[in-house]
């Protein structure tokens, strides 16, 4: 909410046409996304940002190649103009490189661990020896039931898939029946809840709701999902079961959060033949932890989080929830052209146009490719430039070989592309010609020579390497 006296307007920046309205008046807050920024021309964006006084980057812990490219484009504009920058992220185990990338000094860098939260969250991990399967999910039902029963407030249970929501809800109803608890986790009289259930379209929700258990399935009837969320928000239901992907859109919180498994199955290929078990993304686990808040009960000392997973995952998940997220760059996938077409095309537009050099030939001097120098210069603005100096092993480089690693990535950007080389000049060669080249209309034979990789100049003192080394001034750590 902005005060009316300030006359501040909020508008979305989703296309290049919105730039015209942004620079007309003062007191405008523009909200945009990385996918929208990369579609805007660099020169047009530079003209628009002349009147900007503050840039805020949110959710930096979700940094991917497209987000990094958008921030790189902005930093190359706002840093010379000395525009104020604010970055917001979840708890990171090492935010120093991120702060250095954004131009934040040590006095303005505020970093907190998850244990420093105002509402502390108690984390407990329970391991199971079984692999990911339906049997493992049934084995987790009894521990999850005990967690819900001992929780001082409400509980949100995240399960691996949509189909698991109904299965877990029915298993918990069965478990409450074995203990002769007919109401289950319902906090209101059944007579008051039953008239509300007549609006349900999904009949399978009826019995779980009468036991105080609700579940959300994306794609279900909006009226059913609204009713479940309303009953849970009002405290009538004590348990809400949701698939893992809803952690980004779930509008409610609870005093206790439980993870029934930390793996899910991806299906690909024709007829769903290829199935692969994948670990939960670390950002999703941290997002789920954020749903645990202190209960209103006087017995509660803070939020609680229970993680049920395989034995080999326990150590990494515990470190993640205790020390914070690790943040690495995904920008090498752009140089390998493995990212989305939109991101790769946006990176190409940020580079100045230069005529590609001719294809190398035997016994002839190789023309320098200044386009590679432009790529190296642009990479100096990326988060990747900081992280490869701090953690080269992650990017398959040894200490002291960062420049060579980046040089290979730059070569991959041009290798195999349509504009890798320009047209081959026709140069007469007397050694392979059977006619006099001085005569008019005489045919000329040209030898194309070896491949580029066989005669490539590996001199590390090239202009590109000098530019890249200059970017490392003050960044590269001293050898131990």
pTM for the whole thing? Answer: 0.78
At 463 the pLDDT is 46
Q: How far is CA 445 from CA 162, 282, 365, in A?
A: 68, 60, 19
Strand partners, 57: 87
At 352 the pLDDT is 85
Reply yes or no on whether the pLDDT at 24 is more than 80: no
Reply yes or no on whether the pLDDT at 479 is more than 70: no
Reply yes or no on whether the pLDDT at 457 is more than 50: no
Helix (H) / strand (E) containing 308: strand 303-310
Reply yes or no on whether the pLDDT at 272 is more than 90: no
At 403 the pLDDT is 83
Domain made up of 115-323: CATH architecture:
3-Layer(aba) Sandwich (3.40)
At 460 the pLDDT is 38
Banded model confidence at residue 113, pLDDT cuts 50, 70, 90: confident
Q: Between residues 152 and 455, which one has the greater pLDDT?
A: 152
Beta strands in 66-131 (DSSP E): 84-87, 121-128
Average pLDDT over residues 396-406: 82
Reply yes or no on whether the pLDDT at 245 is more than 80: yes
At 480 the pLDDT is 44
Banded model confidence at residue 230, pLDDT cuts 50, 70, 90: very high
Banded model confidence at residue 248, pLDDT cuts 50, 70, 90: very high
Q: Between residues 119 and 142, which one has the greater pLDDT?
A: 142
Reply yes or no on whether the pLDDT at 446 is more than 80: no
At 29 the pLDDT is 85
| Closest-CA residue to 239 (of 122, 123, 157) | 157
| DSSP designation for 199 | G
| pLDDT tens by residue, 358-376 | 777 777 777 778 888 888 8
**Residue keyed to tokens 């000094």:** 105
Least confident span in 28-32, 149-153, 253-257, 463-467? 463-467
Reply yes or no on whether the pLDDT at 408 is more than 90: no
Radius of gyration of the chain (CA): 29
**Residue keyed to tokens 């001082």:** 152
Average pLDDT over residues 12-30: 73
| pLDDT tens by residue, 273-284 | 788 889 999 999
pLDDT, averaged across the chain: 81
Say which residues have a Cβ less than 8 Å from residue 311's Cβ, sequence separation at least 6.
127, 128, 129
Least confident span in 102-106, 217-221, 357-361, 439-443? 439-443
Average pLDDT over residues 29-38: 87
Q: Between residues 467 and 314, which one has the greater pLDDT?
A: 314
Least confident span in 57-61, 231-235, 270-274, 394-398? 270-274
Reply yes or no on whether the pLDDT at 227 is more than 50: yes
In this structure, which long-range contacts are made by residues 405-410, counting pairs with CB atoms below 8 Å and at least 24 apart in sequence?
Answer: 406/376, 406/379, 406/468, 407/464, 407/465, 407/468, 409/332, 409/335, 409/336, 410/335, 410/372, 410/375, 410/376, 410/379, 410/464
Q: Between residues 352 and 118, which one has the greater pLDDT?
A: 352
At 464 the pLDDT is 47
Q: What does CATH list as the number for 4-113?
A: 3.40.50.300
Q: Between residues 50 and 389, which one has the greater pLDDT?
A: 389
Reply yes or no on whether the pLDDT at 470 is more than 60: no
Reply yes or no on whether the pLDDT at 473 is more than 70: no
* 205 φ/ψ angles, rounded to the nearest 5 degrees: -80, -20
Residues of the chain with CATH 3.40.50.300: 4-113, 115-323
| pLDDT tens by residue, 74-107 | 998 888 888 889 999 998 988 999 999 998 888 8
At 2 the pLDDT is 58
The distance between the two most distant Cα atoms of the chain, rounded to a whole number of Å, is 107
At 415 the pLDDT is 79
| pLDDT tens by residue, 156-207 | 999 999 989 999 999 999 988 887 677 788 889 888 999 999 889 988 999 9
| pLDDT tens by residue, 284-332 | 999 999 898 866 555 556 789 999 998 899 999 999 988 889 999 999 9
């Amino acid at each position: 909410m902005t005060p009316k006296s300030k006359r501040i307007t909020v508008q979305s920046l989703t296309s290049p046409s919105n730039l015209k309205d942004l620079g007309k008046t003062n007191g405008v807050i523009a909200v945009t996304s990385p996918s929208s920024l990369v579609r805007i021309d660099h020169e047009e964006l530079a003209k628009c940002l002349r009147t900007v006084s503050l840039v805020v980057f949110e959710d930096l812990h979700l940094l991917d190649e497209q987000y990094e490219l958008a921030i790189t484009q902005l930093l190359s504009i706002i840093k010379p103009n000395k525009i104020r920058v604010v970055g917001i992220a979840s708890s990171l185990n090492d935010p120093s490189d991120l702060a250095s990338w954004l131009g934040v000094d040590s006095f303005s860098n505020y970093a907190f661990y998850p244990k420093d939260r105002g509402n502390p969250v108690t984390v407990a991990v329970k391991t199971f020896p079984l692999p990911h399967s339906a049997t493992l999910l049934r084995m987790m039902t009894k521990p999850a039931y005990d967690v819900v029963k001992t929780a001082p407030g409400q509980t949100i249970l995240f399960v691996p898939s949509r189909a698991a929501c109904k299965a877990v809800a029915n298993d918990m109803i069965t478990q409450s029946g074995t203990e002769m608890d007919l109401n289950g986790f319902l906090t209101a009289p059944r007579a008051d809840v039953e008239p509300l259930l007549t609006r349900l379209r999904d009949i399978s929700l009826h019995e779980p709701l009468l036991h105080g258990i609700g579940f959300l399935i994306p794609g279900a009837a909006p009226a059913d999902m609204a009713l479940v969320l309303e009953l849970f928000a009002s405290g009538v239901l004590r348990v809400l079961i949701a698939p893992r992907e809803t952690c980004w859109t779930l509008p409610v919180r609870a005093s206790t959060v439980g993870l029934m498994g930390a793996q899910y199955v991806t299906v690909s290929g024709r007829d769903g033949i290829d199935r692969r078990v994948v670990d939960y993304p670390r950002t999703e686990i941290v997002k789920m932890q954020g749903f645990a808040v202190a209960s209103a009960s006087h017995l509660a000392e803070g939020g609680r989080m229970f993680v049920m997973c395989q034995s080999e995952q326990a150590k990494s998940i515990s470190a993640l929830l205790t020390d914070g997220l690790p943040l690495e760059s995904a920008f090498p996938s752009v140089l390998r052209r493995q990212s989305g077409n939109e991101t790769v095309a946006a990176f190409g537009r940020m580079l100045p146009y230069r005529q590609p050099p001719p294809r190398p030939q035997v016994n002839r001097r190789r023309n320098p490719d200044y386009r590679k120098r432009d790529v190296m210069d642009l990479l100096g603005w990326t988060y990747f430039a900081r992280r490869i100096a701090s953690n080269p092993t992650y990017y398959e480089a040894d200490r002291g070989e960062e420049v060579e690693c980046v040089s290979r990535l730059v070569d991959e950007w041009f290798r195999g592309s349509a504009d890798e080389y320009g047209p081959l000049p026709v140069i007469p060669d007397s050694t392979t010609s059977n006619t006099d080249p001085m005569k008019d209309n005489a045919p000329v034979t040209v030898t194309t020579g070896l491949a580029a990789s066989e005669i490539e100049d590996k001199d590390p003192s090239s202009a590109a390497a000098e530019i890249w080394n200059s970017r490392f001034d003050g960044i590269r750590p001293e050898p131990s």
